[in-house]
Chains A and B, each alone.
Chain A
Amino acid sequence: MLSLFMQGIETVFTLQILGLLFFGTVVGIIFGAIPGLTATMAVALFLPITYTLGAAAGISLLVGLYIGGVSGGLISAILLKIPGTPASVATTFDGGPMMEKGEGAKALGVGIFYSYVGTLLSIFALIFIAPTLAKIALAFGPHEYFSIAIFSLTLIITLATGSMVKGLFSGALGFAFSTVGIAPVDAIPRFTLGLTELNAGFDILPVLIGLFAISEIIKVAEDVKTEQQATVTVVKLKGFGFSVKEFFEQGWNMIRSTLIGTGIGILPGIGSGTSNIVAYMVAKKRSRHPEKFGTGIIDGIVASEAASCSAVGGAMIPLLTLGIPGDTVTAMLLGGFMIHGIQPGPLLFVSQGPLVYTIFVAMLVSSLMMLVCELYGVRLFVKMLAIPKHILLPIILVLCFVGAFGLGNRIFDVGVIVFFGLLGYGFVKCKIPQTPFIIGLILGPMAETNLRRGLMLSDGNFSGFLTQPISATFLGIAAASVAMHFYQTHRARAARKAMQPT
């Protein structure tokens, strides 16, 4: 492990990779800070560029964008009271009131410090958990992989959505799109509509760019004409703005929120967008002064930022060990790995050990860069908030088109991003969650291929999926999570009925 770590340090500490990490982190913070732009969009835009870079350099750039993008949201959450990304929604609850009380500098300092601590601790969790998990996963066969795919699909549907029917449809549709192209095992072409470009199926990146970036741009068009440009107050930062006593007072809050963030990050499909709110609610519930939450105290910012940023390391665990993305950005990173012909999963730790540790080191360096950049570059990021959206968004759309075209030098992919952009906008309008679609698209082939392989191994008998202990456990948890969701929905409906006047 130590020698691999040293190799990682050697690879990362070159001018090219350090430069890319710095660039990625700064651009990520800008994307995170500007409301309407997200870390997902930043990674989507820069993915095609990594094609021309080596695997280590390309993935380092994406890691920088990811870490910067998740953390950057705190800047607008505190200065504008508008969360830059879903990861910093809970930061507005206390960051905004602190800004109003004239404690904006302290709020920013606390946010920056605890987002760094959260990221750092979750990376340590990643470094220690991932190799062990990968060793266990090496023993997994088709039965286990099929069950993990089904478990992941059901979990995101039951955890991340309001409407179970819409979540299920989204996942099923993503799965359906993954069946386009040559079928696994018997190699029969399916749903290609006579288009040779579809023989290999949909490339995941144009789908992601369309679904997350293009649809977001169309959505912004809904109210951009009436939106008021926010006025930003520049604050001067002097250190982190909190005392050593306050640091020790926040110790347990920080550890608990980091654990919540890392745990939620590990669960497939949900990440920092959920963890910051859950950690905030828990911190409020456990606090000796819950009534002060929302009035401008640092406890709320510590909980939100530590949890949202610690989801970063958590989300990388299932990606690297099982090839299952922990959130939408890691779904993009999965695409980044595939560009370089790398398949994340347990074998990655055997065949590409140095690359795995390069990623670990790149994450550690990027989180430090994030801390320094946010601390000393806050004035630059504040200026970025003033760029008018009606100028910025069309330029981003052009870059999306270039990115999609650059993947295979074919105009077909440009058509794909437009198609999925329209589909994504339809999802937004009908309140259908997009994440199950992506997870369905990514895990669909894994589920189908392993279902068929598993059945071949057990002579067409389905019982193999239930007699293998790990496979049975995952299927059992999947069934339990669906049953639990139905039960909770039923109870909520009954409670609503009881409250209605007769």
Chain B
Amino acid sequence: MSYTKKREYVAGAFFLIVGLGYLYLTSGIPRKQFIDAAFVPYVLAFTMCLLGVLQLRAAYKLPVSEQAGEKDTADYRTVWKTLGLIVAYAAFLEPVGFPVMTVVYLFLQFIVLTPRDKKISYPMYGVIAVMTSAIVYLTFRQAFDMMLPVGLMSGLIE
């Protein structure tokens, strides 16, 4: 199966799953009359399910001429590593704190994204990570009164 056809099938399946999930959640809204809080969600849920079916049909009927030529050349290893780092950064931002977690995230993300033809410079990445974290924290704390989470450094900063 070509990349384009696979992508169109995935889109159709996604539409249908989201539509059915939304329909299930909508069925839990208490009904009062025909036009009530559940009316618009029901319309949207059925629309999304219908669009899912139409998208799957379009994927099935995709002409051969439209399937050729397009190739996926993305570097998914880097994408997955980046996604992992972003999710970890969000998850540990509060318990570990902004200053430390930002240094860790930036340092690792710089390494992950460094182009193949460039040398990884650990000391430079470390300095940029620490300086960015400190500048951003101090700017937002002092200039905009933003209480960014300090986590592990609560004893030192507050």
Contacts and interface: CB of A to CB of B under 8 A. Distances in A.
A binds B: yes
Interface of A: 49, 51-52, 163, 165-166, 168-169, 172-173, 175-176, 179, 183, 185-186, 188, 190-191, 214, 217-218, 221-229, 388-391, 393-395, 397-399, 401-402, 405-406, 409, 411, 414-415, 418, 421-422, 426, 429-432, 447-448, 451-452, 455, 460, 496, 500
B35 interface: yes
Contacts of A500: 63, 65
B89 A221 contact: no
Contact of B37 (A166, A190, A214, A217): A190
A183 B37 contact: yes
Nearest to B125: A391
A395 B102 CA distance: 9
A411 B93 contact: yes
Contacts of B68: none
Contacts of B44: 172, 175-176, 179
A49 B73 CA distance: 38
A212 B84 CA distance: 19
Given A411-B94, A429-B7, A398 B37 contact: no
B76 to A, nearest CB: 8
Contacts of B47: 168, 172
Interface residues of B, number: 68
B106 A398 contact: yes
Contacts of A179: 40-41, 44
Contact of B7 (A414, A431, A452): A431
A173 B136 CA distance: 35
A61 B72 CA distance: 39
Interface string B15-35: 100100010010001101011
A492 to B, nearest CB: 12
Interface of B: 7, 10-11, 14-15, 18, 22, 25, 29-30, 32, 34-38, 40-41, 44-45, 47-48, 51-52, 54-55, 58, 63, 65, 73-76, 78-79, 82-83, 86-87, 89-90, 93-94, 98, 102, 105-106, 109-110, 112-118, 128, 132-133, 136, 140, 143-149
Interface of A is mostly: helix
Nearest to B77: A225
Given A176-B41, A430-B10, A460-B35, A389 B75 contact: no
Nearest to A429: B7
A203 to B, nearest CB: 16
Contacts of B14: 426, 430
7 tightest Cβ-Cβ pairs between the two chains A and B: A390-B113, A183-B37, A222-B74, A394-B109, A430-B11, A221-B82, A188-B37
Contacts of A224: 75, 78, 113, 115
A173 B128 contact: no
